[in-house]
Amino acid sequence: MKTQICIIGGGPSGLMLSQLLHLKGIESIVLERCSREYVLGRIRAGVLEQGFAKLMREAQCGERMDQEGEIHEGFYIAHDNKLDRVDLFKHSGGSSVIVYGQTELTRDLYEARDRMNGEVLHNVDDVVLHDLTREAPYVTCKYNDENIQIDCDYIIGADGFHGVSRKSIPADVLREYERVYPFGWLGILSETKPVSPELIYSSHERGFALCSLRSQVLSRYYIQVPLSDSVDDWSDEAFWNELKRRLPVEVAVKLETGSSIEKSIAPLRSYVVEPMSYGKLFLAGDAAHIVPPTGAKGLNSAASDIYYLYHALLDHYQNDDDSGLDNYSAKALARIWKAQRFSWWMTSILHRFPENSSYDQKLQQIEIEYLFSSDKALGSLAENYVGLPYGG
User: Catalytic residues, which ones?
Assistant: 72, 201, 293, 297, 385
User: Taking CB under 6 A as the rule, does residue 351 contact ligand PHB?
Assistant: no
* N-term to C-term CA, the chain: 35
Judged by CB under 6 A, the stretch of 7-15, 45-53, 136-144, 267-275 that binds ligand PHB is 45-53
Strands of the sheet containing 47-48, edge to edge, are 47-48, 97-99, 70-72
Q: For residue 4, what are the contacts with CB-CB under 8 A and spacing of at least 6?
A: 21, 26, 27, 28, 152, 153, 154, 317
- x/- map, 274-313, ligand PHB, by CB under 6 A: -------------------xx-x-----------------
The widest CA-to-CA distance across the chain, in whole angstroms, is 64
Strands 154-157 and 281-283: parallel
- x/- map, 190-209, ligand PHB, by CB under 6 A: ---------x----------
Helix H or strand E segment including 327: helix 323-350
Query: Which of ligand PHB, ligand APR, none does 212 bind, CB closer than 5 to 8 A by kind?
Result: ligand PHB
Which residues are near ligand APR by CB under 6 A? Answer: 8-14, 31-34, 39, 44-45, 102, 124, 127, 158-160, 162-164, 285-286, 298-299, 302
Query: Which of ligand APR, ligand PHB, none does 296 bind, CB closer than 5 to 8 A by kind?
Result: ligand PHB
CB of 364 to ligand PHB, least distance (A): 18
- Residue 2 is classified by DSSP as B
User: Taking CB under 6 A as the rule, does residue 384 contact ligand PHB?
Assistant: no
Size of the site for ligand PHB (CB under 6 A): 9
CA–CA gap between residue 266 and residue 254 (Å, rounded) = 27
User: Taking CB under 6 A as the rule, does residue 220 contact ligand PHB?
Assistant: yes
| Cβ(350)–Cβ(203) below 8 Å | yes
| Closer residue to ligand PHB (CB): 10 or 46 | 46
CB of 306 to ligand APR, least distance (A): 9
| Closer residue to ligand PHB (CB): 220 or 316 | 220
Burial group, residue 304, by CB count within 10 angstroms (0-12, 13-18, 19+): buried
| Closer residue to ligand PHB (CB): 199 or 281 | 199
Nearest alpha carbon to residue 105 among 34, 158, 57, 161: 57
3-class secondary structure per residue, 33-75 = CCCHHHHHHCCCCCEECHHHHHHHHHCCCCHHHHHHCEEECEE
Query: Which of ligand APR, ligand PHB, none does 164 bind, CB closer than 5 to 8 A by kind?
Result: ligand APR
For ligand PHB, the binding residues (CB under 6 A) are 45-47, 199, 212, 220, 293-294, 296
